[in-house]
Chain A
Amino acid sequence: MSNRSSLDSLTCVLCPVGCELEVRRTERGLDVQGHQCEKGIGFATEEVLYPKRNLATSVPVKGSETRLVSVRLSDRVPREKIFPILREIAKLRPEPPVRRGQVLIADVLGTGVDVIATRTVD
């Protein structure tokens, strides 16, 4: 009974191509069109049901206001977690030396995802 389907137009954000995806909710599940690679199907499903994003920011190292460590998440989190996580990150004052990839907050807010440093500060 696909005449009761609804349509979503999405832009895939997984790579610079930015495929225009059309997602149709049918009674049998989601039908995805417009993807140029297999990742598009997973992205569209996720985007319709529970959109996820990564985030990046930077924090000063301990004892300085101008020496910054940039950070990101080890994996994407549900979009609504972005601002709560940013508030947790804002409290960070990592002590140098900081290594690229170093975990600064493990399992942030119980998401199962870590906050990691994206640069080295000696």
Chain B
Amino acid sequence: MEDMETRDVVVIGGGPAGLAAALGAKRAGADNVLIIERERRLGGILNQCIHDGFGLFLYNETITGPEYAERLVEDVDKEGIRAETGAMVLDLTSDLVLRVNSRSGYRLIRAKSVILAMGCRERTREMIEIPGTRPAGIFTAGAAQNLVNLQNIRIGNETVILGSGDIGLIMARRLTFEGIAVKGVFEIMPWTSGLERNVRQCLMDFWIPLELSTTIVEIKGRDRVESVVVAAVDRGLKPIAGSEREVPCDTLLLSVGLIPENELSKRAGVELSPLTGGAVVDETLMTSVPGIFSCGNVLQIHDVADFASHEGFRAGESAGRFARGEFPAGTKARLWPGPNIRYVLPQLIRPGTADVDLNFRVTRPLRACRVTVRGKSSDKVYFRKKYGRLLPSGLQKIRIRPPLDEDLEIDCHE
């Protein structure tokens, strides 16, 4: 163990969160920062997101995913941060030892702090259990995006999209550009899970039908998808008998949710939240394992890459300070989601901390509503704000100014 390779900060994942985290760590004074990226190219999912709408917050202009990635990578290069691509972390221990399979072979690295930035993966047909045959032509939206945008592969001629996540909406427009018919987007919930602006500019602009409270109950076809059977669902999300309709198509895209990829976090003993699928963190974005931090889609699913990067910078700064031995200890107060709040992040806050940034999502669309953060024991109001409209698709950010020294609950009422 004496001659083990050592690093101040190791960042696992070189996407929008990981690249920003490395910059944050460096700027917080960590000298020896290493990014480990599984793919051959840095940038993560940004590389296949060739559409525009990135960078509005980070660079103050709207650019595409590849441009955003190249600019972040240039910033990382300028800081002299080392990044290894084509390298995969196989294991991470609670005492911050990483087992890495890299181009130079298998090796161990001991880190003073580790940043989890592994991103997320897509839910599949198996996870939502669509009955029917198992023909070719079924893709997750992100897999289709990779094939179309990076590999120049025509994935089909007539597509149906299940789920209204942002990647599905973006792909509806992308396939339309490629001359592939998109026959409809079917969403089981009574509201879309993607951003409103993508419903507007990716579906409505091209007259692509969007049917809410509708799902696919059967996939048909032997070698290749031949059709899907769609049906309306009731309020319990169960298909309504008699409402079935067959839609001919040769391709089915699934855009039915994203799951934080926390296999390594579990290996290290990091406590996960059942509400976010990501780590339980405090206001510094440190997990339950001292020295391990989390940011980006592995922590919570973001709608916008800029926010994943912003979280990355914060986690990086915290990890950099931790590596230098400057870190506060102490017990933590807890934040609880109340009525109409799906989750709130961070879940833990050190007492006495002021100006805490919170993220939350609502459980359903709410109009003319008020968000309140209250002390659990004192009933003191720490924050209150009115909103015209809040949607489950929009990750919200608020700042609690007064110092905190008790458990809090956040709720939203119309």
Q: Give residues in A with beta carbon < 8 Å to B.
A: 10-18, 20, 34, 53-58, 60, 65-66, 68, 70, 72, 79, 82, 86, 100-101, 118-120
B: contact size bracket: 20 to 34
Identify the closest chain A residue to B201 (Cβ).
A13
Q: How far is the CA of A73 from the CA of B53 in the complex (A)?
A: 13
Q: Bound state CA distance, A12 and B197, in angstroms?
A: 6
Interface check B63, CB cutoff 8 A: yes
- CB neighbors of A among B168-217 (8 A): 174, 177-178, 195-197, 199-201, 205
Which single member of B66, B200, B394 contacts A13 (CB below 8 Å)? B200
Q: How far is the CA of A9 from the CA of B389 in the complex (A)?
A: 15
What is the CA–CA distance of A37 and B177 in the complex, to the nearest angstrom? Answer: 31
24 interchain pairs, CB-CB under 8 A: A11-B196, A11-B199, A12-B197, A13-B197, A14-B62, A16-B197, A17-B394, A18-B197, A53-B201, A54-B52, A56-B50, A56-B52, A58-B149, A58-B150, A60-B152, A66-B151, A68-B149, A68-B150, A68-B152, A70-B64, A72-B50, A118-B50, A118-B64, A119-B67
Query: Interface SS of chain A: helix, strand, loop or mixed?
Result: loop
Q: Is the CB of A58 within 8 A of B152?
A: yes
- B interface list, Cβ under 8 A from A: 47, 50-53, 56, 62-64, 66-67, 70, 149-152, 174, 177-178, 195-197, 199-201, 205, 303-304, 388-389, 394
Closest chain-B Cβ to A29's Cβ sits at a distance in Å of 23
Contacts of B56 in A (CB 8 A): 15-16
> Does B64 contact A72, Cβ atoms closer than 8 Å?
yes
Shortest distance between the CB of B152 and any CB in chain A (Å): 6
Which residue of the partner chain B has the closest CB to A34? B388
Cβ contact within 8 Å between A100 and B67 = yes
Known: A14-B197, A16-B56, A82-B177. 13 other contacts (CB 8 A): A11-B197, A11-B200, A15-B56, A16-B53, A16-B197, A16-B303, A18-B196, A56-B64, A65-B152, A66-B151, A68-B149, A68-B152, A119-B70
Within the assembled complex, what's the spacing in Å between the Cα atoms of A115 and B369? Answer: 44
- Cβ-defined contact, B149 with A70, below 8 A: yes
In the bound complex, what is the Cα–Cα distance between A96 and B105 (angstroms)? Answer: 32
- With the chains together, A20 CA to B205 CA distance in Å? 16
Residues of A near B51 (CB, < 8 A) are 56
Q: Beyond A54-B52, A56-B51, A66-B151, is A16–B70 a contact (Cβ under 8 Å)?
A: no
* Chain A CB within 10 Å, residue with most, of B56, B195, B394: B195
CA distance A12 to B199 in the complex (A): 11
B261: min CB distance to chain A, Å: 23
A49, B62: Cα distance in complex, Å: 23
Nearest CB in chain A to that of B302: its residue: A16
| A55 and B177 within 8 A (CB) | yes
CB distance from B78 to the nearest CB of A (A): 16
Determine how close the nearest CB of chain A comes to the CB of B167; give it in whole angstroms: 14
